[in-house]
Chains A and B, each alone.
Chain A
Amino acid sequence: MSSELLTIAVESLGKKYDIYTQPADRLKQMILPRVGRVIGKGQRAYFNEFWALRGITFDVRRGETVGIIGRNGSGKSTLLQMVCSTLHPTEGTVHVHGRIAALLELGAGFNTEFTGKENVYLSGLLYGIPEGELRKRYQSIVDFADIGEFINQPVKTYSSGMYVRLAFAIAAHVDADTLVIDEALSVGDVRFTQKCMRYLRDFQKRGTLLFVSHDTGAVTSLCSRAIWLDAGRMVMDGSAREVVEHYLAVQHAADRASLGESVTVRASVAEAGAVTNGATMVSATMPVDVVDPRQDVLNGAATRNLVEVFDFDAAQISNEFGAGTARIVDVQLLDVDGKAHQLITGGEVADLVIEAEALEVIEAPIFGFYVKDRLGQRLFGDNTYVSYCDQPVHAQPGTHLRAHFRFRMPVLPSGDYSIDVALATGTQENHTQQHWIHDALAFRASESTMRHGLVGIPMHAIMIERAGA
Chain B
Amino acid sequence: MISTYRLNNPTSPYLALYRHFAIVVQMARRDVVGRYRGSFVGLLWSFFNPLLMLVIYTFVFGVIFKSHWAGQVGGKFEFAIILFAGMNVNSMFSECANHAPTLIIENTNFVKKVVFPLETLAWSTLGSALFHFLVSTLVLLLISLLARGSVPWTFVLFPIVIVPFLPFIAGMVWLLGSLGVFLRDLKQAMGIITAALMFLAPIFYPMEQIPPHYRDLLYLNPLTVIVEASRDVLVWGRIPNWDLLGIYTLASCLFAWFAFVWFERTRRGFADVL
- Which positions in A face B, CB cutoff 8 Å? 17-18, 20, 23-24, 26-27, 29-30, 81, 84-88, 102, 104-105, 107-114, 118, 121-123, 125-128, 130-131
Q: List 14 A-B contacts (CB under 8 A).
A: A18-B272, A27-B182, A81-B112, A88-B268, A104-B113, A107-B113, A109-B110, A109-B113, A112-B109, A122-B30, A123-B114, A126-B114, A130-B22, A131-B22
Please name the residue on chain B nearest to A119 by beta carbon.
B30
The answer to whether B23 and A126 touch across the interface, beta carbons within 8 angstroms, is yes
**A30 contact from B112, B269, B271, Cβ within 8 A:** B269
> Chain B, 253-274, contact with A by CB distance < 8 Å: what is the 0/1 string?
0000000000001101101110
The answer to whether A126 and B272 touch across the interface, beta carbons within 8 angstroms, is no
* Set of chain A residues within 8 Å of B114, measured between Cβ atoms: 84, 86, 102, 104, 108-109, 123, 126
Q: 8 Å CB contacts to A: which residues of B84-111? A: 107, 109-110
* Set of chain B residues within 8 Å of A86, measured between Cβ atoms: 112-115
B122 to chain A, nearest CB (A): 16
* Set of chain B residues within 8 Å of A24, measured between Cβ atoms: 182-183
A283 to B169, CA, bound (A): 86
A33 to chain B, nearest CB (A): 13
B7 to chain A, nearest CB (A): 16
* Set of chain A residues within 8 Å of B23, measured between Cβ atoms: 122, 125-126
The answer to whether A121 and B26 touch across the interface, beta carbons within 8 angstroms, is yes
B188 to chain A, nearest CB (A): 14
A84 to B116, CA, bound (A): 11
Please name the residue on chain B nearest to A17 by beta carbon.
B272
A87 to B272, CA, bound (A): 10
* Set of chain A residues within 8 Å of B107, measured between Cβ atoms: 111
Q: Given the interface contacts A20-B272, A26-B273, A131-B22, does A122 sit within 8 Å of B27 by beta carbon?
A: yes
A30 to B30, CA, bound (A): 34
The answer to whether B115 and A23 touch across the interface, beta carbons within 8 angstroms, is no
Please name the residue on chain A nearest to B107 by beta carbon.
A111
The answer to whether A114 and B1 touch across the interface, beta carbons within 8 angstroms, is no
Q: Which of B27, B109, B113, B266 has the most CB of A within 10 A?
A: B113
- Range, interface on chain B: 20 to 34
Please name the residue on chain B nearest to A100 by beta carbon.
B115
A108 to B107, CA, bound (A): 11
Please name the residue on chain A nearest to B274 by beta carbon.
A23
* Set of chain A residues within 8 Å of B272, measured between Cβ atoms: 17-18, 20, 26
The yes or no answer to B229 lying at the interface (CB within 8 A) is: no
A107 to B107, CA, bound (A): 12
The yes or no answer to B2 lying at the interface (CB within 8 A) is: yes
A30 to B178, CA, bound (A): 13
* Set of chain B residues within 8 Å of A122, measured between Cβ atoms: 23, 26-27, 30
- Which positions in B face A, CB cutoff 8 Å? 1-2, 22-23, 26-27, 30, 34, 107, 109-110, 112-116, 179, 181-184, 265-266, 268-269, 271-273
Please name the residue on chain B nearest to A113 by beta carbon.
B34
Q: Given the interface contacts A18-B272, A111-B107, does A84 sit within 8 Å of B115 by beta carbon?
A: yes
The answer to whether B113 and A85 touch across the interface, beta carbons within 8 angstroms, is no
A264 to chain B, nearest CB (A): 41
A86 to B110, CA, bound (A): 9
The answer to whether A118 and B183 touch across the interface, beta carbons within 8 angstroms, is no
Those 5 A-B pairs whose CB atoms lie nearest each other, nearest first = A108-B113, A109-B114, A27-B182, A23-B273, A23-B182
Other A-B pairs beyond A23-B182, A108-B109, A128-B1, 18, CB < 8 Å: A18-B272, A20-B273, A23-B184, A26-B272, A27-B182, A29-B269, A104-B114, A107-B109, A108-B114, A109-B113, A109-B114, A114-B30, A114-B34, A122-B26, A122-B30, A125-B23, A125-B26, A126-B116
Q: Given the interface contacts A85-B115, A86-B113, A126-B1, does A23 sit within 8 Å of B181 by beta carbon?
A: yes
* Set of chain B residues within 8 Å of A108, measured between Cβ atoms: 109, 113-114
Please name the residue on chain A nearest to B117 by beta carbon.
A126
Please name the residue on chain B nearest to A106 by beta carbon.
B113
B186 to chain A, nearest CB (A): 10
A102 to B109, CA, bound (A): 14
A20 to B182, CA, bound (A): 11
A215 to chain B, nearest CB (A): 22
The answer to whether B183 and A27 touch across the interface, beta carbons within 8 angstroms, is yes
* Set of chain B residues within 8 Å of A111, measured between Cβ atoms: 107, 109-110
The answer to whether B182 and A26 touch across the interface, beta carbons within 8 angstroms, is yes
* Set of chain B residues within 8 Å of A102, measured between Cβ atoms: 114
The answer to whether A110 and B182 touch across the interface, beta carbons within 8 angstroms, is no
The answer to whether A126 and B115 touch across the interface, beta carbons within 8 angstroms, is yes
B138 to chain A, nearest CB (A): 27
A152 to B92, CA, bound (A): 30
Q: Given the interface contacts A85-B115, A86-B115, does A109 sit within 8 Å of B181 by beta carbon?
A: no
Q: Given the interface contacts A84-B115, A108-B114, does A30 sit within 8 Å of B34 by beta carbon?
A: no
A453 to chain B, nearest CB (A): 43
The answer to whether A23 and B183 touch across the interface, beta carbons within 8 angstroms, is yes
**A109 contact from B26, B27, B109, Cβ within 8 A:** B109
* Set of chain A residues within 8 Å of B116, measured between Cβ atoms: 109, 126
A113 to B26, CA, bound (A): 14
A23 to B265, CA, bound (A): 16
B180 to chain A, nearest CB (A): 10
* Set of chain A residues within 8 Å of B113, measured between Cβ atoms: 86, 104-105, 107-109
Please name the residue on chain B nearest to A27 by beta carbon.
B182
A110 to B30, CA, bound (A): 14
A131 to B23, CA, bound (A): 10
A114 to B23, CA, bound (A): 14
* Set of chain A residues within 8 Å of B2, measured between Cβ atoms: 85
Q: Which of B27, B116, B271, B272 has the most CB of A within 10 A?
A: B272
Q: Given the interface contacts A108-B114, A126-B116, does A30 sit within 8 Å of B266 by beta carbon?
A: yes
B265 to chain A, nearest CB (A): 8
Please name the residue on chain A nearest to B114 by beta carbon.
A109
A128 to B20, CA, bound (A): 10
Q: Given the interface contacts A24-B183, A88-B268, A122-B23, does A110 sit within 8 Å of B273 by beta carbon?
A: no
A113 to B107, CA, bound (A): 10
A162 to B181, CA, bound (A): 31
A63 to B265, CA, bound (A): 37
A20 to B110, CA, bound (A): 21
B95 to chain A, nearest CB (A): 17
A105 to B113, CA, bound (A): 8
Please name the residue on chain A nearest to B180 by beta carbon.
A23
A23 to B181, CA, bound (A): 7
* Set of chain B residues within 8 Å of A112, measured between Cβ atoms: 109
A23 to B178, CA, bound (A): 12
B246 to chain A, nearest CB (A): 33
* Set of chain B residues within 8 Å of A110, measured between Cβ atoms: 109
